[in-house]
């Protein structure tokens, strides 16, 4: 009978170890996902002063130093430069060419009374000349105005791109910050259970030492086995906290190894009361960066179609051309039929057209511009369906986590009472170590679920602000 009892106890201990393994594996997977994609600097800080930052300070610092946001800001500068080019196209363009060089000699008597064709070339002087051409567009069939419209919309698209990157940084910072808090709460939970176990082990050892009639070494072995698993979970949690801090430090531009901690000490549910989901739906249409980008992008694409269509028609312009040249060894001849390229002066105003005629090139460009426009329309159709779904999912996640916080709080409080009673019975010699381990396991699971529910509540609200674009409004 004792052998059968031993096998049953071994099976129970194995089950407890498996449950702890599942919790440990979940924690490890979470941390690995959390730090995935982050490039961690290998440099170490020399400054030993401890840095303690709140969530808002972490977000502000991460946004300030983010290279992704810096890249997006330069994209805005690119479109501002295009807008400057489009605006300037409406003004006159002036081209000046000035040259100087050696001049062959030319005398008036070489052409009077008759043209002498046997004059030898003698280079014994220098010449200088300057040509000025001014072109002022007067009608371009919408080309210049279309490029202006496209560039203006491009600037707004780029600004929305900066907001999109900023929103990404805010969400990632919140995720890291809340993850550190969750890991700290998990560590405190494990330490709490560990203290109870260590106390029970000490009492069991003392009972065995004094030869108490209800002392049982098997119970002591069970508790020590469970304590080993608790220590392993504690080590994993410590590693997770260190990695999450490294990731947050890197995102804020600090070197790994900087003495850093977050200002908050424990996770608490989001205090802001969410509004009706319809409010968030409307806000997403107004504030979400992707909607702004698509709206302005369609305007830009449409303007580019008009710009390509303008190539079917001529470009009208007025102009001015003036030229002056002089040489040290050439006579000036005042005869409109005789032109000396090295010694002359003239000017003229004119009106003209420039018309490029092709047999399919312009049509192909117009079709290409239309295809780009329709590609963007399809993206907008996808966004019209996906973003409201994302908003609704984040909203429902938050509502679910609200209920889970209440339910898991009830559960872990009852599990705590169970654990206290089991420990008291064990201390009095009327309880079993299995009962203590089962109660401890139930308490850990319920309390951990409560901590995860609070984390999910925080993150679902952060996701809701991200999905609606309201996170940007909060920091402006």
DSSP result, 200-229 = HHHHHHHHHHHT-TT--HHHHHHHHHHHHH
Question: What local confidence, expressed as pLDDT, does residue 44 receive?
Answer: 41
Q: Considering the chain, what is the average pLDDT of its residues?
A: 86
What mean pLDDT is predicted for residues 72-98? 93
- pLDDT score of 5 more than 80: no
Per the CB < 8 A criterion, the answer to whether 189 and 444 are in contact is yes
Residue ranges with strand state E in 245-299: 260-262
Higher-confidence residue of 23 and 129: namely 129
Question: What local confidence, expressed as pLDDT, does residue 214 receive?
Answer: 66
User: pTM above the 0.85 mark?
Assistant: no
Question: What local confidence, expressed as pLDDT, does residue 27 receive?
Answer: 46
Give every CB contact of residue 374 below 8 A, 6+ residues apart in sequence.
none
Per the CB < 8 A criterion, the answer to whether 475 and 60 are in contact is yes
Higher-confidence residue of 100 and 255: namely 100
Of all residues in the chain, the percent with pLDDT exceeding 90 is: 64
- For 336-378, write each residue's pLDDT tens digit: 888 899 999 999 999 999 999 999 999 999 999 999 999 999 9
Question: What local confidence, expressed as pLDDT, does residue 11 receive?
Answer: 47
What mean pLDDT is predicted for residues 95-99? 97
- The sign of the CA dihedral 437, 439, 442, 444 is negative
DSSP 134: E
Question: What local confidence, expressed as pLDDT, does residue 28 receive?
Answer: 43
- For 391-444, write each residue's pLDDT tens digit: 999 999 999 999 999 999 999 999 999 999 998 888 777 777 788 888 988 999
Per the CB < 8 A criterion, the answer to whether 75 and 158 are in contact is yes
- For 212-245, write each residue's pLDDT tens digit: 766 678 888 888 998 999 999 999 999 999 999 9
Residue ranges with strand state E in 24-92: 51-53
**Cβ atoms < 10 Å from Cβ of 57:** 14
Higher-confidence residue of 46 and 380: namely 380
- pLDDT score of 263 more than 80: yes
Q: How far apart are CA 108 and CA 333, in angstroms?
A: 7
**What does each C-alpha distance from 177 to 68, 140, 181, 263 come to in angstroms?**
20, 56, 7, 10
């Amino acid at each position: 009978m004792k052998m059968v009892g031993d096998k049953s106890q071994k099976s129970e201990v194995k089950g407890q170890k498996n449950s702890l393994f599942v919790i440990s594996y979940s924690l490890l997977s979470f941390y690995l996902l959390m730090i995935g994609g982050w490039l961690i600097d290998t440099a170490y800080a020399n400054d030993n002063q401890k840095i303690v930052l709140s969530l808002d300070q972490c977000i502000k610092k991460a946004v300030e130093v983010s290279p992704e946001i810096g890249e997006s800001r330069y994209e805005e500068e690119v479109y501002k430069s295009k807008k400057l080019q489009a605006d300037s196209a409406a003004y006159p363009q002036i081209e000046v060419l000035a040259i100087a060089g050696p001049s062959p000699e030319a005398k008036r008597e070489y052409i009077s009374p008759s043209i002498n064709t046997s004059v030898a070339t003698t280079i014994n002087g220098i010449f200088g000349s300057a040509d000025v051409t001014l072109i002022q567009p007067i009608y371009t069939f919408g080309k210049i105005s279309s490029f202006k419209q496209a560039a203006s919309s491009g600037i707004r698209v780029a600004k929305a791109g900066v907001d999109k990157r900023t929103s990404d940084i805010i969400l990632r910072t919140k995720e890291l910050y809340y993850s550190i808090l969750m890991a700290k709460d998990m560590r405190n939970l494990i330490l709490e259970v560990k203290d109870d176990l260590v106390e029970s082990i000490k009492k069991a050892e003392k009972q065995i030492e004094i030869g108490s009639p209800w002392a049982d070494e098997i119970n002591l072995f069970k508790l020590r086995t469970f304590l080993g698993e608790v220590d392993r979970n504690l080590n994993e949690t410590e590693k997770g906290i260190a990695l999450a801090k490294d990731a947050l430090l890197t995102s804020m531009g600090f070197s790994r190894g900087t003495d850093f901690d977050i200002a908050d000490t424990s996770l608490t549910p989001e205090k802001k009361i969410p509004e009706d989901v319809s409010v968030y739906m409307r806000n997403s249409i107004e504030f979400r960066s992707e909607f702004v980008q698509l709206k302005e992008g369609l305007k830009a694409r449409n303007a580019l179609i008009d710009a390509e269509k303008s190539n079917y028609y001529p470009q009208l312009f007025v102009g001015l051309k003036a030229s002056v040249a002089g040489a040290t060894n050439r006579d000036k001849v005042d005869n409109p039929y005789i032109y000396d390229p090295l010694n002359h002066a003239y000017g003229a105003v004119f009106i003209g057209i420039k018309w490029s005629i092709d047999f399919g090139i312009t049509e192909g460009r117009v079709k290409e511009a239309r295809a780009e426009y329709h590609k963007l329309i399809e993206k907008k159709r996808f966004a019209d369906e996906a973003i409201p779904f994302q908003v609704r999912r984040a909203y429902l996640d938050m509502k679910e986590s609200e209920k889970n916080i209440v339910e898991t709080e009830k559960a872990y409080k009852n599990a705590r009472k169970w654990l206290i009673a089991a420990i008291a019975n064990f201390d009095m010699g009327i309880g079993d170590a299995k009962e203590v381990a089962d109660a401890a396991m139930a308490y850990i699971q319920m309390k951990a679920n409560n901590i995860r529910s609070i984390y999910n509540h925080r993150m679902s609200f952060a996701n809701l602000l991200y999905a609606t674009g309201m996170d940007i409004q909060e920091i402006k």
